[in-house]
Structure 1
Amino acid sequence: MDITFLGAAGGVTGSCHLVRVGDRRLLLDCGMFQGGREEEAHNRDPFPFDAAALDAVVLSHAHLDHSGRLPLLARRGFRGPVHATPATIDLARVLLRDAAHLQESDAERENRRRLRQGKGLVKPLFTADDVEAALRLFRPLDFDVPADILPGVRATLVPAGHILGAASIVLDLEEDGRRRRVAFSGDIGQDDSCMLPPPRPPDRADLVLLESTYGDRNHRARAATHEEIAGVLESAWEAGGNLFIPAFSIGRTQELLTLFAQHYDEWRLDRWLLFVDSPMAIQANTVHLRHDHLVREEARPLFAGRGLRERLPNLRETASTEESMRINSVRRGALVIAGSGMCTGGRILHHFRHNLWRRECRVMIVGYQGEGTLGRRLVDGAERVTIHGEEIRVAAGIHTIGGLSAHAGQDELAAWYGAIEGRPAVALVHGEARGREGLARRLSAAWGVQPTLPRAGELIAL
């Protein structure tokens, strides 16, 4: 029995870990690499295993950095089941279909340019057909229901609190009478989310694969974060322009809407024109309504019936391209939530082209910005950025809100691990160098453990 780390090992995207039990092979996640061109080029690399010989996949949650290469896996011969919670399956359907559309659109646009230049054509990373082939492989697995998914492999999904349906994965493995339990955290949410119940660690394990995105630091207190948001909203209104929030369509957008509904009067949101400008986020809103039993009890009324609509009467969901384009005729008072969360694509880029150079406009960054992304350049104070081949001057005010992360901070990660019986061996994944090293120091100081910091391709024997 062993585990090979094939992604999110020294970085925060491309989550993928290969588990071997005798002659059985399964993956924990099969995510897309995201960020700069060099990072994303790895998505086209061959898998370091035979996809057709793989027996199963267990998916922690729907975000593309965990699910985004499943269509490639299907194209290259994988025919086994993909186990995930029902909510994850519904959200993955939305995300993967949207990703295929973007891949095909980007390839078409690039090929028009290449034809003019007499260059060779490119193919999309995957197509809509590849996505449908992958979606046919999904099999629902409810929280806290152990399932024998392969001979010698029992999987149990535990709530992780990251996004709707997100799970930590517990694998009970058996080979030749030897038994081992592996716990893969997936992405762990904060304890005090306004929308989701807190994450729940497994009771015991022999090896823990623990995410470390924010392993070196804690987030601002929730109350301080709310005060900060209120301040940005007030200053943005006084500046006399529009406010743009690049946000992940799944998870972050719904959390923002929950906060806006809960603080509607306090934050004087009635004076804004509120837009959710993302077809994917609009579909995700519907999925949240379908699985409202998974949200916190106090937030449940917002996801039942017309609860959200009644609390946010000035909310507009702009599904079509034409509706999105009309937003740019609004010169003042538009509050626009649009994808993508790291500003690497989607409608937020079109809004930036029309507004980023306007001093009276504001941008509120509410999530993690990976190395090499446009969002990271804005956070780092870039004076000029390139969008769709055009250089844009950055005159709008950029505000970063740190406390809304869907990832746990250092204290919460340490507490999650510390609740597991016996302080098992731990490998830190899904983190850049400072996150992993910071969490390693914290765990070592607290419990004397020496975490492994695996690199891509490294193997741990069980």
Structure 2
Amino acid sequence: MDIIHHGGFDQVTGSCHELRVSDGERYLIDCGITQGHDQSSVPGALPDVSFVSDSIKAVIITHCHLDHIGRLPYLLAAGFNGPILCTKASARLLALVLADAIQVGISRDAELIEAVLERLQQQLQPLAYQQWWQLSDRCRIRLQNAGHIMGSAYVECDVDDQRVVFSGDIGCKGTPLLPDPTPLERADLLLLESTYGDRSHESRADRQQRLKQRIERCIEDRGAVLIPAFSMGRTQELLYEFEDIWHQLEQSHQQQFPEIVVDSPLAAELTDVYQELHELWDAEAKQRLQQGRHPLSFSHCHTVRDHDQHMALVNRLTSTAEPVIIIAASGMCAGGRISNYLRALLPDPRTDVLFVGYQAQGTPGHDIQTYGPSGGYVYLDGEKVTINAGIYTLGGYSAHADQGELLAFIGSAQSAVKRVRLIHGEPHAQRALAAQIRERFNIPVETAAELFGG
């Protein structure tokens, strides 16, 4: 048995790991694209799928973020015709995410998009959580809830008498809508993400209060709050929090609340699916439903789907002063509708930009986060834009476990984890987490630098 990494090893994005049971029996866990600083330096370079062969028997998807699924269309084009295994919720979400990604990044040809989606549906094989699936005489897998986004999973692989676990992305405890990650059973080898392996998140307990403070400033300054957010996961979490703030204001008879605009057709479609899948919500969210509340659809929240409506709103906000909260993709400001808002409103000191997720190096979001507080500038689609807006980061909204939660995930195992290999993290994050794992658990830990140098 061997494990080969085609991405997401010594970097955060581009997750693609090959479990080689034998020369003729191989499996891919995830097939994602790189983003930001992780991307190829060759302009226009296509994602690498050179490893495709008849010996790849199946692809197992941990969740539907593009850095875990974005290479799938290229994999299909290269001739892969085996099963694509994922949770039932991910199977429901996958087509929406890939259709949008193809339209934005590959082609707007409706026939081509439909052909890819039809092929995808033929190969998709939805699996239930916590049930073993026999891939071959030597290998079986089981998907467990990872608590990252709807349908996210970590993958347990039993190869002969060895248990290999691929973490995918592990979520935080207390994430809105989602149950906490399922504790580990055991692992002879745990391949563990390390995105935030070198830090702790801000308190999740008071994040709603900090979010409310930004709303209050929005009302006072009569300016816009721009929230770059991934269409899936983060957008729904924010809506959940805003609904609760609005509910509290209603209960105390305070009616002042700015308009909330979700400006993303994909986010709107995904939110609809999130509502359909409410049986997967956590106990708190289900209780709100029983009380007659609608955590993802409420008064003062509006959706913009049409591009003309989007541009009209951008132009309106450029010329008028009004409090409004805009949630739009992309989450790292690398294209999407958020770019139009940023170009128009970053120079306005009444504007606030609120980051609630990871900003990879090399993305405009990272540059705004880094240089914005000192009144710098950012290049958006080749245009230099001065930053006069307020720039804020609420770390308590990350969908990734921090160092303490990653250590707790290892410690949750019923039987001690025997060995860890760190993936999905920058070298400094891997080093910091590796040191903590060795100190706390006294088990072998591998990092990309230690295995391959660098």
Matches within 5 A, 1:262-341: 262-266=244-248, 270-300=256-286, 307-308=293-294, 312-328=298-314, 329-330=316-317, 331=320, 332-341=322-331
2:194 maps to which residue?
A: 212
2:158 to 149, 169, 172: 172
Tell me by how many angstroms 1:298 deviates.
1.4
C-alpha contact (below 8 Å) 2:265/2:305 kept by paired residues: yes
1:401 maps to which residue?
A: 394
CA distance in 2, matches of 1:346, 1:45: 20
Aligned residues: 437
Tell me by how many angstroms 1:157 deviates.
0.4
Q: Does 1:255 align with 2:237?
A: yes
Letter in 1 for 2:35: Q
C-alpha contact (below 8 Å) 2:239/2:296 kept by paired residues: no
Name the CA shift for 1:310/1:4 in 2 (closer, same or farther; >3 Å): closer
2:141 maps to which residue?
A: 155
2:70 to 68, 71, 78: 68
2:359 to 359, 363, 369: 369
Name the CA shift for 1:40/1:60 in 2 (closer, same or farther; >3 Å): farther
Name the CA shift for 1:73/1:159 in 2 (closer, same or farther; >3 Å): same
1:30 maps to which residue?
A: 31
1:15 maps to which residue?
A: 15
Name the CA shift for 1:56/1:367 in 2 (closer, same or farther; >3 Å): same
2:385 maps to which residue?
A: 392
Q: CA RMSD in A?
A: 2.5
1:79 to 81, 84, 90: 81
Letter in 2 for 1:59: I
Larger deviation, residues 262-271 vs 278-287: 262-271
CA distance in 1, matches of 2:441, 2:47: 39
Q: Deviations over 1:295-325 (max 9, x none)?
A: 1121125668984379721111111112212
CA distance in 2, matches of 1:277, 1:269: 23
Letter in 2 for 1:248: F
CA distance in 1, matches of 2:74, 2:246: 43
Q: Does 1:451 align with 2:445?
A: yes
C-alpha contact (below 8 Å) 1:34/1:65 kept by paired residues: yes
1:442 to 411, 417, 436: 436
CA distance in 2, matches of 1:286, 1:141: 22
Name the CA shift for 1:399/1:46 in 2 (closer, same or farther; >3 Å): closer
Larger deviation, residues 269-278 vs 345-354: 269-278
CA distance in 2, matches of 1:78, 1:185: 24
Letter in 2 for 1:246: P
Tell me by how many angstroms 1:279 deviates.
0.6
CA distance in 1, matches of 2:9, 2:155: 18
Q: Does 1:94 align with 2:96?
A: yes
C-alpha contact (below 8 Å) 1:249/1:284 kept by paired residues: yes
Q: Deviations over 1:68-124 (max 9, x none)?
A: 101111000100001001111121111100000001469x9xxxxxxxxxxxxxxxx
Q: Does 1:185 align with 2:179?
A: no
Tell me by how many angstroms 1:39 deviates.
3.6
TM-score (structure 1 length as normaliser): 0.89
Partner of 1:346, secondary structure, is coil
1:347 to 314, 319, 337: 337
Tell me by how many angstroms 1:425 deviates.
0.5
In structure 1, the gaps of 5 or more residues are 109-125
1:203 maps to which residue?
A: 185
CA distance in 2, matches of 1:228, 1:269: 19
Q: Deviations over 1:180-210 (max 9, x none)?
A: 1111111011111122110013211111000
Name the CA shift for 1:394/1:135 in 2 (closer, same or farther; >3 Å): farther
Name the CA shift for 1:161/1:269 in 2 (closer, same or farther; >3 Å): farther
Tell me by how many angstroms 1:38 deviates.
4.3
CA distance in 2, matches of 1:413, 1:142: 24
1:431 to 421, 425, 434: 425
Name the CA shift for 1:244/1:306 in 2 (closer, same or farther; >3 Å): farther
Name the CA shift for 1:163/1:223 in 2 (closer, same or farther; >3 Å): same
Partner of 1:257, secondary structure, is helix
CA distance in 1, matches of 2:451, 2:71: 17
CA distance in 1, matches of 2:295, 2:402: 32
C-alpha contact (below 8 Å) 1:10/1:456 kept by paired residues: no
CA distance in 2, matches of 1:306, 1:345: 37
1:243 to 199, 206, 225: 225
C-alpha contact (below 8 Å) 1:428/1:436 kept by paired residues: yes
Partner of 2:158, secondary structure, is strand
Q: Deviations over 1:47-66 (max 9, x none)?
A: 34234441101100000000
Name the CA shift for 1:304/1:146 in 2 (closer, same or farther; >3 Å): farther
Name the CA shift for 1:352/1:72 in 2 (closer, same or farther; >3 Å): same
C-alpha contact (below 8 Å) 2:190/2:417 kept by paired residues: no
C-alpha contact (below 8 Å) 1:264/1:311 kept by paired residues: no
Name the CA shift for 1:144/1:431 in 2 (closer, same or farther; >3 Å): same
Letter in 2 for 1:206: D
Percentage of pairs with the same residue: 35
CA distance in 1, matches of 2:99, 2:260: 26
Larger deviation, residues 76-85 vs 302-311: 302-311
2:59 maps to which residue?
A: 57
2:128 maps to which residue?
A: 142
Tell me by how many angstroms 1:419 deviates.
1.9
Name the CA shift for 1:431/1:310 in 2 (closer, same or farther; >3 Å): closer
CA distance in 2, matches of 1:310, 1:377: 31
Tell me by how many angstroms 1:11 deviates.
0.7
Partner of 1:395, secondary structure, is coil
1:416 maps to which residue?
A: 409
C-alpha contact (below 8 Å) 2:2/2:20 kept by paired residues: yes
CA distance in 2, matches of 1:375, 1:326: 24
TM-score (structure 2 length as normaliser): 0.90
Q: Deviations over 1:165-188 (max 9, x none)?
A: 0001001112xxxx2111111101
CA distance in 1, matches of 2:18, 2:209: 43
Larger deviation, residues 68-77 vs 429-438: 429-438
